[in-house]
Amino acid sequence: MIKRNVCIYILLTALLLTSFLGSANQVLSSTVEDIKNQIDQAGNKQDSIQNQLDKINHTLAEQQKEYDAISKAYVEIANQYQQETSALQKQLDELEIIFHEIEELQNTIAQNEQAYTRALDLFYKRAMVTYRQSQCSALQTYIECGNLFAYNERVRLMKDMLESDQVHIEELRRMKQDLDDKKALVEISTLDIRQAVREKEILVEKLKNNEQILASDLSASRDAIHRLEAQEAALEAESKRLEAEIRELQWQYEKLLGNDDGALHFLWPAPSGKYITSYYGYRTHPISGQWKMHNGIDIGAAGGTNIVASEEGVVVTATWNEGGYGWYVIIYHGEGISTLYAHASKLLVKAGDQVRRGQVIALVGNTGASRGDHLHFEVRLNGTPRNPLDYLNV
Q: What is the pLDDT of residues 282-316, one digit of tens each?
A: 766 655 566 667 889 999 999 999 999 999 999 99
Average pLDDT value for the chain: 76
Q: Is residue 308 a contact partner of residue 271, using CB atoms and an 8 Å limit?
A: yes
pLDDT at residue 303, rounded to an integer: 95
Torsion of CA 351, 353, 358, 364, to 10 degrees: -30
Average the pLDDT over each of 68-72, 78-82, 99-103, 230-234 and give the range with the smallest value. 99-103
Per-residue model confidence as pLDDT tens digits over 307-363: 999 999 999 999 998 768 999 999 999 889 999 999 999 999 999 999 999 999 999
The pairs formed by 211-220 with CB atoms below 8 angstroms and a separation of 24 or more are 211/74, 211/77, 211/78, 211/81, 214/70, 214/73, 214/74, 214/77, 215/74, 217/70, 218/67, 218/70, 218/71, 218/74
Q: Is the pTM above the cut of 0.85?
A: no
Burial of 231 (0-12, 13-18, 19+ CB in 10 A): middle
146: enclosing H helix or E strand: none
pLDDT at residue 129, rounded to an integer: 60
pLDDT at residue 225, rounded to an integer: 87
Per-residue model confidence as pLDDT tens digits over 178-206: 767 767 777 776 666 777 777 777 877 88
Q: Residue 20 — very low, low, confident or very high, per pLDDT cuts 50/70/90?
A: very low
